[in-house]
Homo-oligomer: A and B are copies of this chain.
Amino acid sequence: MSEKLQVAVAGIGRMGMRHARHFATLTPRAELIAVCSPVQAELDAAKEEFGVRTYLSFDNMLANEKTLQAVVVASSTTVHAEQAIKAIEEGYHVLCEKPLSTSPEISQSVVDAYRSSVKSYPKQKVMCGFSRRFDASYRDAFTRVSNGDIGTPSVFRSQTCDKLDPSGFFVAYAEFSGGIFVDCSIHDIDLALWFFGEDSKVKSVTAVGITAVQPELRKHNDRDNAVGIIEFYGEKTAQLYCSRMMAAGQMDCTEIFGTNGEIAVNTQPQSNLVNLFESTGVRREIPPDYYGRFREAFITEANEFTAACLNNDILPMSLEGAVKAVRIGSALQESLVSGEKIDFDESGNRVEAARL
C-alpha cells in the first residue's frame, strides 16, 4: 500500500471533529497529524481522541508541520477563505467546508488564489466540500440522469430543511451565515448545477421568505422558511425550499423531472429500515440532523479527496462551481430581502434597467 496522505484539520468544532475522525480512522490512505483551533478545550479533546499535535494558531500549524500535505478547513465560515488561501498559496491540497465564503467576491478570491498557485504546484487539489455529491443515492440519481434515463432534466426541485432548534441558536448564527439561501440552499443550488450542468446560465432568481417561528431572524435579514425559483436559460427551472422549522428531523430531498421520467431522492426520509406498528399507526424515525443523513457521504468525501491528492486524479467537481453556487444563493437571499425578482442576461450580468 502506498504512503498515507498527511492531513491537518483547521477548526475542530462539531463538524471539524467529524472531519478529523473521518480522516483519522475511516480513511485508510490518510493520516491525521495535526489540528488547530483557537479553543484549547477543543484541542485537548482532539489530542485525547487522536493523539495528534495541536495548535492554537493556523499559521503556526502550517509553519511547523513539515510533512503536511493537505489541510481540511472546517473552521467558522468567516475564516474559510482566509485559511484556504493561505494553505493554497503554500502549495497544500485543501478541502474547504462549504461555503468558501458567504460573499461571492471573497469566494472568487479563493479560486483566483488557486488559479495562480496551481501554476507552481500543478498537482495541487482544492475542493469545496459539497457533501451530497458523495452521497450514494445522489450519485445513483446522477448516473441515471447522465445515462439519459429521464430524457432532458428540465425541472429541479430540492429542499434543505433542518429540524427546529428552539434554543435560538439560529438567530445568533444568522448574523454570519449569509442567510438561509447561502447556508442551507447552497447544497440544492450546487445540485441543480450538477444535474443541469455547471455551465447552466441563470436567467432570473426570485425568493420569498417568512418568519413563522423565529421573527428575530429579521434583524439579520434572514427568515426561517423561504422558497425560491431559479430560472435558467434553455428551458430549465429550479424550485427551492429551505426551512429551519421541521418537526420530524432533517428533511432534505430532491426531485429531477425530465422529459421522459423523474428521479426522486429521499422523498420518503427514514433513519433506517425499521417501521414501528403502534396503537397510533405505523411510524418510522428520520435523521435528526444533516450529519445523520449524510455521514456516509462525508466519509466517502474524505476517502476520495485523499485518493485524488495521492493519485493526482481530477476532483469530482470544480472550484468555480462552488463560487457560482454562492453567487446564486446570494442573489436569492437578496431577492428574499428586497422583494424584487432579479434578472440576468446570458453573460451573467444583471438586467436592472428592464423594469424602468
- Which of these, B24, B28, B239, B245, contacts A154 with CB under 8 Å? B245
Q: Is the CB of B231 within 8 A of A248?
A: no
Question: Could you mark each residue 205-233 of chain A with 1 if its beta carbon is under 8 Å from any beta carbon of chain B, else 0?
Answer: 01011111100000000000101110100
Known: A251-B277, A282-B283, A340-B341. A208 touches B225 (CB 8 A): no
Q: Say yes or no: is A116 at the interface (Cβ < 8 Å to chain B).
A: no
How many whole Å from A351's CB to the nearest CB in chain B? 10
Residue from A144, A204, A284 whose CB has the most chain B CB atoms within 10 Å? A284
How many whole Å from A51's CB to the nearest CB in chain B? 5
How many whole Å from A278's CB to the nearest CB in chain B? 5
Residue from A229, A236, A268, A273 whose CB has the most chain B CB atoms within 10 Å? A273
Question: Could you mark each residue 59-85 of chain A with 1 if its beta carbon is under 8 Å from any beta carbon of chain B, else 0?
Answer: 000000000000000000000000000
Q: Say yes or no: is A266 at the interface (Cβ < 8 Å to chain B).
A: yes
The CA-CA distance from A128 to B212 in the complex, in Å, is: 32
Q: Say yes or no: is A168 at the interface (Cβ < 8 Å to chain B).
A: no
Which of the candidate stretches A91-99, A133-141, A174-182 sits at the interface with the other chain?
A: A133-141
Residue from A51, A140, A274 whose CB has the most chain B CB atoms within 10 Å? A274
- With a cutoff of 8 Å between Cβ atoms, the chain B residues found around residue A157 in the complex are 227, 241
The CA-CA distance from A91 to B246 in the complex, in Å, is: 50
The CA-CA distance from A266 to B268 in the complex, in Å, is: 11
Known: A140-B272, A243-B155. A225 touches B212 (CB 8 A): no
Which of the candidate stretches A37-45, A185-193, A257-265, A316-324 sits at the interface with the other chain?
A: A257-265
Question: Could you mark each residue 117-155 of chain A with 1 if its beta carbon is under 8 Å from any beta carbon of chain B, else 0?
Answer: 000000000000000000011001100100001101011
Q: Say yes or no: is A25 at the interface (Cβ < 8 Å to chain B).
A: yes
- Which of these, B136, B249, B276, contacts A144 with CB under 8 Å? B276
- Which of these, B154, B204, B227, contacts A225 with CB under 8 Å? B154
- With a cutoff of 8 Å between Cβ atoms, the chain B residues found around residue A259 in the complex are 212-213, 245
How many whole Å from A214's CB to the nearest CB in chain B? 10
Q: Is the CB of A286 within 8 A of B276?
A: no
Q: Say yes or no: is A348 at the interface (Cβ < 8 Å to chain B).
A: no
- With a cutoff of 8 Å between Cβ atoms, the chain B residues found around residue A267 in the complex are 267-268, 275
Q: Say yes or no: is A285 at the interface (Cβ < 8 Å to chain B).
A: yes
Q: Is the CB of B275 within 8 A of A261?
A: no
How many whole Å from A85's CB to the nearest CB in chain B? 32
Q: A248-B280, A265-B274 are in contact. List 11 more A-B contacts (CB 8 A).
A: A26-B26, A154-B210, A155-B225, A155-B243, A206-B229, A225-B237, A248-B261, A251-B262, A261-B279, A263-B276, A269-B273
Q: 9 closest pairs, A vs B, by CB? A: A154-B212, A262-B277, A25-B28, A137-B273, A281-B285, A248-B277, A210-B235, A137-B272, A266-B273
- A residues bordering B, Cβ < 8 Å? 1, 24-26, 28, 50-51, 136-137, 140-141, 144, 149-150, 152, 154-155, 157, 204, 206, 208-213, 225, 227-229, 231, 235-237, 239, 241, 243, 245-249, 251, 257, 259-286, 339-341, 343, 355-356
